[in-house]
């Protein structure tokens, strides 16, 4: 019997003790009524016991201890930074044209946005990958949109729509705060079979850097659209057709 796939992140978090009391009570109530999910938790416990019973600790080599002790016992070395001549000492050598060119270059650096800030698609992908690698996919872990939506109150200065798409094959996992384009944004997490979809939502900028539509970067697909005064970025390694379908379903459900 297969456990509920959309409950797997919550079950793992429950086992690791990472849920707050409200979400823990909800997951525990589900486990009591679902034999498959109860069996999944039992399997997690068995795997934990097996790993705990294996001696995985390995002593550091003795030579490492001797090297550390030698470094600690060594007298400190005074490092004197080389003196730098004042800038004013070189100013007489610059003509008016050189100074003007230098000023123009500095002004250009200030006026032109840096690539790390302007390239939002790369920022979106980086945040998506970071959420998967750092085991910080959600701050609020629940499939109940009525819990996820109010969780953002007071944490951001806008109200993101949260819709339930489980019947369409995109179950809601939860939400979290993230940081895109120099400001905090709402991140909603959905699943498509074994794939994770991060949907970043923020107020629509006055002059967007990227036109609405689909983008492809490496193995990731991005769907960007604007509805009302909000901008949406959906990113995943799921098939491009599936992400486009998610875009259309979410846009339709949040508009109604």
**How would you write 191-202 as a 3-class SS string?**
EECCEEEEEEEE
Q: Are 213 and 224 in contact (CB under 8 A)?
A: yes
pLDDT for the residue 61: 76
C-alpha torsion sign, points 143, 230, 243, 12? negative
| Tokens found for residue 224 | 């960007």
Looking at the chain, which runs of residues are DSSP E strands?
140-141, 172-180, 183-192, 195-203, 213-217, 220-227, 230-236
Tens-level pLDDT at each residue, the chain (256 residues): 677 877 888 888 788 777 777 777 788 888 888 888 888 888 888 887 777 776 666 667 777 777 787 777 776 655 555 555 454 444 444 445 545 544 444 444 444 344 344 488 889 999 999 998 867 899 999 999 999 999 999 999 999 999 999 999 999 999 999 998 888 999 999 999 989 999 999 999 876 555 566 677 678 999 999 999 999 999 999 999 999 999 999 999 999 6
Determine if the pTM surpasses 0.85. Answer: no
pLDDT for the residue 213: 64
Domains of the chain, by residue range, sit at 5-50, 115-255
| Tokens found for residue 15 | 């086992």
- Label residues 140-178 b or e (16+ Cβ within 10 Å = b): bbbbebebbbebbeeebeeebbbbebeeeebbbbbbbeb
Specify the CATH number of the domain 115-255: 3.30.200.100
| Tokens found for residue 132 | 């998967």
3-state secondary structure of 173: strand
For 139, other C-beta atoms within 10 Å of its C-beta total: 17
């Amino acid at each position: 019997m297969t456990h509920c796939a959309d409950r797997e992140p919550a079950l793992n978090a429950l086992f690791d003790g990472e849920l707050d009391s409200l979400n823990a009570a909800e997951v525990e109530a589900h486990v009591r009524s679902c034999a498959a999910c109860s069996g999944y938790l039992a399997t997690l416990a068995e795997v934990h016991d097996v790993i705990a019973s294996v001696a995985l600790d390995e002593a550091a080599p003795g030579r490492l201890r001797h090297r550390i002790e030698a470094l600690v016992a060594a007298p400190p070395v005074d490092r004197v930074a080389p003196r730098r001549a004042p800038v004013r000492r070189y100013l007489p050598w610059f003509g008016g044209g050189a100074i003007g060119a230098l000023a123009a270059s500095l002004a250009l650096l200030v006026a032109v946005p840096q690539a790390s800030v302007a390239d939002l698609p790369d920022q979106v992908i980086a945040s998506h990958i970071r959420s998967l690698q750092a085991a910080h996919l959600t701050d609020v872990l629940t499939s109940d949109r009525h819990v996820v939506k109010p969780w953002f109150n007071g944490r951001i200065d806008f109200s993101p729509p949260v819709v339930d798409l489980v019947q369409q094959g995109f179950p809601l996992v939860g939400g979290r705060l993230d940081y895109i384009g120099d400001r905090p944004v709402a991140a909603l997490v959905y699943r498509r079979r074994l794939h994770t979809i991060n949907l970043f939502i923020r107020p629509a900028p006055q002059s967007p850097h990227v036109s609405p539509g689909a983008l492809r970067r490496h193995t990731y697909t991005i769907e960007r659209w604007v509805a009302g005064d909000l901008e949406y970025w959906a990113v995943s390694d799921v098939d491009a057709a599936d992400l486009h379908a998610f875009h259309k379903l979410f846009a339709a459900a949040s508009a109604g």
